Amino acid sequence: DAMVIQNPRYQVTQFGKPVTLSCSQTLNHNVMYWYQQKSSQAPKLLFHYYDKDFNNEADTPDNFQSRRPNTSFCFLDIRSPGLGDAAMYLCATSTALAGRGETQYFGPGTRLLVL
Amino acid sequence: AQSVTQLDSQVPVFEEAPVELRCNYSSSVSVYLFWYVQYPNQGLQLLLKYLSGSTLVESINGFEAEFNKSQTSFHLRKPSVHISDTAEYFCAVSDSSASKIIFGSGTRLSIRP
């Protein structure tokens, strides 16, 4: 089945130690998104790629970076995780941007714990 | 600017009872409206969406939502809930000028046997 895959499902890192979360998709979608979701809150968009074009949300901290080496893969890098970065990180894809009412397809998420 | 308000953070109901989850939005242009569901420890998945046409939209598992432009609402309803409907439900909005969708804060639906 076509899907969005996130690895690992759980990630434990130390305060200040760089960490990378990965996302892959078999849907061949043009757009890939990274969201941060804290407990009992709405997902918060960090950034998205439309093909190779990167779009950063204005309030996304510089500590968060992303790479998309090809259509299928997208990575979220947290350069120096702080305790406040502990959250669920969700990857999503869509065929086009939200302005056309496109459905977003989400992966299962990676829960990040910072010690 | 777009915004979404989900008035109820939690809704407890008994199994087989009806339920309504409320959602109000604000947008200056024609909107697209969505309900996503998140089961425990999973990502979000689309439940239903309104793009245009009939104001009543339905999902395959018995949920429905009605777009009400005059009241700027998109409430989600189900006439009889099941234990398996226990989840968090997010209302979301976008429009033709948007590059992203805006999520509400979510409503946690808990079903009591």
pLDDT exceeds 90 at position B2:
no
E-only strand ranges, chain B: 3-5, 10-14, 19-21, 24-26, 31-38, 44-50, 56-58, 64-68, 73-78, 87-95, 102-103, 107-112
Q: How is A66-102 classified by DSSP, letter by letter?
A: EE--SSSEEEEEESS--GGG-EEEEEEEESS-GGGTP
Q: Are A112 and A6 in contact (CB under 8 A)?
A: no
Q: Does A101 touch chain B (CB under 8 A)?
A: yes
Give dist(CA B91, CA B42) in Å, integer: 17
- For residue A4, give the nearest of A24, A29, A21 by alpha carbon: A24
Range from A10-24, B4-18, B97-111 carrying the lowest mean pLDDT: B97-111
More confident residue, B85 or B52: B85
pLDDT in tens, B33-74: 999 999 988 889 999 999 988 899 999 899 999 999 999 999
Q: What is the mean pLDDT of chain B?
A: 92
Q: How many Cβ pairs closer than 8 A exist between chain A and B?
A: 64
Contacts of B10 in chain A (CB under 8 A): none
Closest residue in chain B to residue A10, using alpha carbons only: B41
B22-to-A5, A39, A72, B41 alpha-carbon distances in Å: 31, 21, 36, 23
Position B95 pLDDT exceeds 90 = no
Q: How high does pLDDT run on average in chain A? A: 93
pLDDT at A49 (0 to 100): 95
Residue A2 pLDDT > 80: no
User: What distance in Å separates residue B107's CA from the closest CA in chain A?
Assistant: 9
For residue A21, name the pLDDT band (cuts at 50, 70, 90).
very high
- Chain A residues with CB under 8 Å of B31 CB are none
Mean pLDDT of A25-44: 93
Question: b/e per residue, B37-48, with b = 16+ CB within 10 A?
Answer: bbeeebbbeebb
Say how many C-beta atoms besides its own lie within 10 A of residue B13's C-beta. 16
Q: What is the mean pLDDT of residues B94-108?
A: 87
Q: Are strands A10-13 and A110-114 parallel, antiparallel or unpaired?
A: parallel
Closest alpha carbon to B76 in B49, B40, B100, B112 = B49
Residue with tokens 């759980």: A10
Q: What is the pLDDT of residue B108?
A: 96
How far is A104 from B59, CA to CA, in rounded Å? 16
Answer yes or no: do A106 and B43 touch at CB < 8 A: yes
